[in-house]
């Protein structure tokens, strides 16, 4: 029984609050009216005019004559209207505050539901979109400057000879990823510039299915060859070989061009690149097609 009543009050507490407020307002108005000097004087007047009755005090006179009581309430409203106006202004103010509070709570609930729906929609779109990750960077040594004949898959240790940087990308999203452009740059420095300088933008037409990887390579440019001083500086840790750039692909689901940046530092002792560097190089940008 008590549990059922508690559940009812918890579910309908606003209705009970409004009803309680109305009852309290009625009692307050009645108290103001019935306890006023104007009302009391009006009630006592017939007894002053009748010699055989003594005037009574307080609320004892109210129940003697309901018709007279009604008339005296009307007289009170006429003569003391400002008090009633002030009282109902107070009631109206309280009601306005309650309405504002309810509206504010409703707005918060609506906003929360809208945000939740938006997050769910974005999560669904992200789950069904192609997703790019950089799965590897490497330097490959060639026999000549043109770079059509590789001398092994990758350099081992010292970066000497004719070299060309490669970046490996993978699609971990369900749909096909259509790569349309990429950029591969390199620089030898202790630290890369805070603002990247991108050149050698290459147009591509590569399509990657889910869980498929691809090595991107700039075949349009000749290989480069480091000087002895640059090689020595890299081996001694005085400078580093940095490879950086970006890859853009078309997202058919959102009709956007998505661009991901990357940067990696070559470690001659491990003969491998490590994906690390300033945050300005590892960005993600989205733009509508044609923007």
3-class secondary structure per residue, the chain = CHHHHHHHHHHCHHHHHHHHHHHHHHHHHHHHHHCCHHHHHHHHHHHHHCCCCCCCCHHHHHHHCHHHHHHHHHHHHHHCHHHHHHHHHHHHHHHHHHHHHHHHHHHHHHHHHHHHHHHHHHHHHHHCCCCEEEEEEEEEEECCCCCCCECCCCCCCCCCCEEEEEEEEEECCCCCEEEEEEEEEEEEECCCCCCCCCCCEEEEEEEECCCEEEEEECCCCCCEECCHHHHHHHHHCCCEEEEEEEEEEEECCCCEEEEEEEEEEEECCCCEEECCCCHHHCCEEEEECCC
Summarize pLDDT for 253-291 with one digit per residue, the tens.
888 999 999 999 999 888 889 999 999 999 999 999 876
Q: What is the pTM of this model?
A: 0.59
For the chain, how long is the longest CA-to-CA vector? 135
Task: Domain ranges for the chain, please list them.
Answer: 2-127, 132-288
From first to last of its 291 residues, the chain has per-residue pLDDT tens of 556 656 555 555 566 566 666 666 666 556 555 555 555 566 555 555 544 455 544 444 444 454 455 555 555 555 555 566 656 676 677 777 777 776 777 777 667 666 665 566 556 666 778 999 999 999 988 888 877 777 666 677 788 888 999 999 999 888 888 999 999 999 999 999 999 999 888 988 888 888 888 899 888 788 999 999 999 999 998 999 999 999 999 988 888 999 999 999 999 888 889 999 999 999 999 999 876
Strands 256-267 and 240-251, by their bridges, are antiparallel
Residues sharing a CB contact under 8 Å with residue 185, sequence separation 6 or more, in sequence order: 196, 197, 198, 199, 200, 243, 244, 245
Tell me the pLDDT tens digit for each residue of 159-184: 888 899 999 999 988 888 899 999 99
Q: What is the pLDDT of residue 51?
A: 46
User: Which residues, in sequence order, are CB contacts of 171 under 8 Å at separation 6+?
Assistant: 130, 131, 132, 177, 208, 209, 210, 211, 212
């Amino acid at each position: 029984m008590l549990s059922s009543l508690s559940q009812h009050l918890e579910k309908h507490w606003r209705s009970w609050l409004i009803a309680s407020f109305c009852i309290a307002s009625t009692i307050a108005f009645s108290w103001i009216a019935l306890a006023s000097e104007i009302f009391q004087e009006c009630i006592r007047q017939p007894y002053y005019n009748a010699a055989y009755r003594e005037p009574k005090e307080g609320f004892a006179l109210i129940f003697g004559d309901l018709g007279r009581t009604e008339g005296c309430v009307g007289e009170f409203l006429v003569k003391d209207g400002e008090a009633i106006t002030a009282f109902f202004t107070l009631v109206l103010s309280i009601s306005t505050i309650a309405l504002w509070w309810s509206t504010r709570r409703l707005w918060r609930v609506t906003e929360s539901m809208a945000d939740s729906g938006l997050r769910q929609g974005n999560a669904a779109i992200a789950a069904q979109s192609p997703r790019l990750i950089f799965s590897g960077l490497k330097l490959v040594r060639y026999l000549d400057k043109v770079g059509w004949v590789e001398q092994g898959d990758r350099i081992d240790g010292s970066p000497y000879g004719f070299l060309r940087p490669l970046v490996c990308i993978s699609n971990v999203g369900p749909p096909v990823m259509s790569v349309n452009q990429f950029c591969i740059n390199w620089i030898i420095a202790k630290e890369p510039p805070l603002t990247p300088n991108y050149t050698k933008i290459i147009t591509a037409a590569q399509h990657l299915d889910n869980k498929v990887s691809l090595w991107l390579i700039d075949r349009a440019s000749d290989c480069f060859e480091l000087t002895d001083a640059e090689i020595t500086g890299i081996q001694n840790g005085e400078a580093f070989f940095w490879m950086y750039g970006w890859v853009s692909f078309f997202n058919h689901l959102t009709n956007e061009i998505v661009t991901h940046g990357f940067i990696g530092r070559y470690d001659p002792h491990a003969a491998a690149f490590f994906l690390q560097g300033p945050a300005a190089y590892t960005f993600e940008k989205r733009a509508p097609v044609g923007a």
